Each structure stands twice: as structure tokens, then as C-alpha cells.
């Protein structure tokens, strides 16, 4: 634990207050979406244990929403699972990006792989040195996992008491926070801005024609516009 709290002697502490603030905001936004997910699943007719166990084992927001949507629409479990796997294929590339951050031990790799999400990878890669990247990954990963699962449980227990969760605008909280987090990088780095705009254009153009979640995957083609310094 000590290695997560500070770098070498005389170096500034790894736990930057701004990092903790940003992680807290994402945990709050993710928790709101988790409440929505749990409530939607149970209000649609699924037993409480389904969204709770799914969140513990699968732990993938967009894949969980899609799988539950398929189940509530009358689809089978295999179709729901296949959709979730398709939406989560992007995490394979994310895992490679943070492989050196997760650690070398089997337990660390197993736990770390479960915590690889868009947010944890973004927090890790935004840091300036290996120690900070490791701290950012594990702090954001554990914080998001705990807050997500607790809030999914709360939403599932509330069930239909919340009514139509869409009327509260809960679905807008998470993307709004993510946009706020990436704005500094977009302002400061021309290459990042070029790749983001290209990926966004691809996603917007294809959204009316392909299944939910696929535009996000295809937005990765925006990386072709990213130019690494020679």
C-alpha cells in the first residue's frame, strides 16, 4: 500500500487531490447510472439478484444495459451474452494499454483485468509516471467497482418505486462527467483533438444504421488520425 501513496523519497505524493476529486465525480456519476440500471432491470420484471450478480461478475455498464434490454424484450440469455461480449471487445485493447500498470502477479492481473474500463484506463494513462498511473488505476478501479455495485443493489431494491428513471435524466450524468474529464486533453493536445473528432464523426454517422454500442467500437478508427511524435 505504501507504494500507492508516494513515489521515491522527496517526490510529491502520488495521491493528487485533483485525481481524487475526479475519481469521486466519476464514482458519483457512475453510481447514479447504477441506480438507474438496477431499477430498470427489476421494474422490467427481472428478480433482484439478476442485476446484482451481473454487476459483480460482468461489471460492464453498457453491456449490462444492452443485455437486460434484450432479456426484457424477450430475447434469450445467449443473445444477451453475445451482445455483451461484442460491446466489451474494446477492453481487450484497453487491457494491453495498461498491462504494465496492473502488475505482474496472477492475483493482481486477475483483479486488474476485471477493473479495466474506459474510465480506469483514461485515469491511468493521463498520469505522468508509472507510480501515478498505477495509483490512478487501482484507486479509480476499486472506487468505481464498489460504488457501481452498491448503487445497482440500491436501485434493484427500490425497483419500481422510482418509476420511469428516464424522466430524471439519470442517463445524462455519466457522459456529462466523462466529457468534463476529457476536455483538458482536448484543449491541450492537437493530436488527441484530431483523433477524438474523427472518432466522434464516425460514431455519429453510423449511429442510425448499426446496433447500439457498435458506433462506440467503430469510433476507435479515429485513432488512425492520431500522429505519434517521431
pLDDT digits (tens, 9 = 90+) for 188-214: 677 778 888 888 888 889 888 877 667
Q: What is the pLDDT of residues 140-189, one digit of tens each?
A: 999 999 999 999 999 899 876 666 666 665 555 556 655 665 666 677 67
The neighbour count for residue 21, using CB atoms within 10 Å, is 10
Please write down the HEC assignment for all residues of 191-211: HHHHHHHHHHHHHHHHCCCCC
* Residues 54-92 pLDDT 10s: 999 888 877 787 788 778 777 777 777 777 777 777 777
d(CA 153, CA 75): 24
Q: Do residues 98 and 116 lie in contact, with contact meaning Cβ atoms separated by under 8 Å?
A: yes
Write the secondary structure of 67-136 as one string of H (helix), E (strand) and C (coil): HHHHHHCCCCHHHHHHHHHHHCCHHHHHHHHCHHHHCCCHHHHHHHHHCCCHHHHHHHHCCCCHHHHHHH
pTM as predicted: 0.69
Place of cell 430524471: 168
| Helical axes 17-43 vs 130-158, angle rounded to 10° | 30
User: In whole angstroms, what is the distance from residue 79 CA to residue 90 CA?
Assistant: 19
Q: What is the pLDDT of residues 42-57, one digit of tens each?
A: 887 889 998 999 999 8
Amino acid at each position: 500500500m505504501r507504494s500507492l501513496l508516494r513515489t521515491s523519497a522527496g517526490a510529491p505524493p502520488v495521491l493528487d487531490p485533483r485525481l481524487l476529486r475526479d475519481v469521486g465525480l466519476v464514482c458519483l456519476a457512475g453510481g447514479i447510472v447504477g441506480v438507474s440500471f438496477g431499477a430498470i432491470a427489476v421494474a422490467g420484471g427481472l428478480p433482484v439478484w439478476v442485476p446484482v450478480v451481473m454487476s459483480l461478475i460482468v461489471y460492464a455498464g453498457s453491456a449490462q444495459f444492452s443485455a437486460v434490454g434484450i432479456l426484457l424484450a424477450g430475447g434469450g440469455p445467449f443473445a444477451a451474452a453475445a451482445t455483451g461480449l461484442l460491446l466489451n471487445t474494446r477492453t481487450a485493447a484497453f487491457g494491453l494499454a495498461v498491462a504494465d500498470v496492473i502488475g505482474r502477479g496472477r492475483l493482481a492481473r486477475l483483479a486488474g483485468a476485471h477493473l479495466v474500463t474506459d474510465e480506469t484506463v483514461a485515469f491511468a494513462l493521463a498520469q505522468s509516471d508509472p507510480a501515478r498511473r498505477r495509483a490512478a488505476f487501482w484507486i479509480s478501479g476499486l472506487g468505481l467497482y464498489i460504488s457501481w455495485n452498491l448503487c445497482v443493489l440500491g436501485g434493484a431494491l427500490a425497483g419500481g418505486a422510482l418509476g420511469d428513471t428516464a424522466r430524471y435524466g439519470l442517463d445524462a450524468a455519466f457522459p456529462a462527467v466523462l466529457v468534463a474529464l476529457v476536455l483538458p486533453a482536448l484543449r491541450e493536445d492537437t493530436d488527441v483533438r484530431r483523433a477524438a473528432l474523427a472518432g466522434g464523426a464516425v460514431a455519429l454517422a453510423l449511429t442510425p444504421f448499426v446496433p447500439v454500442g457498435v458506433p462506440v467500437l467503430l469510433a476507435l478508427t479515429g485513432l488512425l488520425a492520431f500522429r505519434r511524435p517521431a
